[in-house]
């Protein structure tokens, strides 16, 4: 698990991409989950496949975090999906406008208290993704990403 680098060295061949920018709201977070499920279905991973369901859950968790913790009035958040057909790996990236609010590093997450309603999203990401992390390519944004094998 790497936090500040984007592991792409293992991927070869052409990749497929999908990206969209939306306002950082709960409604947009729900919308990107549906849009990503649709895009995966177009790429050959039907809605009822395990890969589509897992990827949609990961998108939903990262988008909810971007809408809640990465929100800056007047600034969008972005979703980017990169599908590597050769090894059936999907990279999910959510970029928001709060580089000052970085999540804990992979492997350092603590379970949420049983009486709280939130605090479990990144635990799901850590459990379901092959690896995940955070990058900050400029002083205005951060990207939380993960990769998941779809088969």
**Which CATH number fits the domain that encloses residue 82?**
3.30.565.10
CA dihedral 120, 82, 39, 89 (to 10 degrees): -70
Question: Would you say residue 55 lies in a domain?
Answer: yes
Question: Would you say residue 113 lies in a domain?
Answer: no
Question: Would you say residue 20 lies in a domain?
Answer: yes
Give me the domain span that covers residue 56. Answer: 16-103+123-149
The predicted model scores a pTM of: 0.87
Q: Is the pLDDT at 84 greater than 70, yes or no? A: yes
Q: In angstroms, what CA-CA distances link 117 with 73, 107, 114, 120, 121?
A: 25, 22, 8, 9, 11
Question: Would you say residue 31 lies in a domain?
Answer: yes
The residues near 74 (Cβ < 8 Å, ≥ 6 apart) are: none
Residue 104 burial (CB count, 10 A): 12
Average pLDDT over residues 4-13: 51
**Per residue in 30-58, pLDDT tens?**
999 999 999 999 999 999 999 999 999 99
How many domains is the chain partitioned into structurally?
Answer: 1
Question: Would you say residue 94 lies in a domain?
Answer: yes
């Amino acid at each position: 698990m790497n936090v500040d680098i984007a592991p792409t060295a293992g991927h070869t061949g052409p990749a497929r991409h999908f990206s969209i920018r939306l306002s950082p709201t709960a409604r947009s977070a729900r919308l990107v989950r549906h849009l990503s499920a649709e895009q995966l279905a177009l790429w050959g991973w039907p809605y009822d496949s395990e890969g589509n369901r897992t990827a949609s859950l990961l998108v939903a968790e990262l988008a909810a975090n971007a809408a809640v913790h990465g929100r800056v009035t007047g600034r969008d958040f972005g979703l980017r999906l990169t599908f590597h057909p050769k090894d059936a790996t999907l990279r999910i990236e959510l970029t928001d406008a709060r580089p000052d609010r970085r999540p804990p590093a992979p492997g350092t997450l603590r379970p949420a208290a049983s009486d709280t309603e939130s605090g479990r999203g990144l635990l799901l990401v850590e459990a379901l993704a092959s690896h995940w992390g955070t990058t900050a390519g400029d002083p205005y944004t951060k990207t939380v990403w993960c990769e998941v094998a779809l088969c």
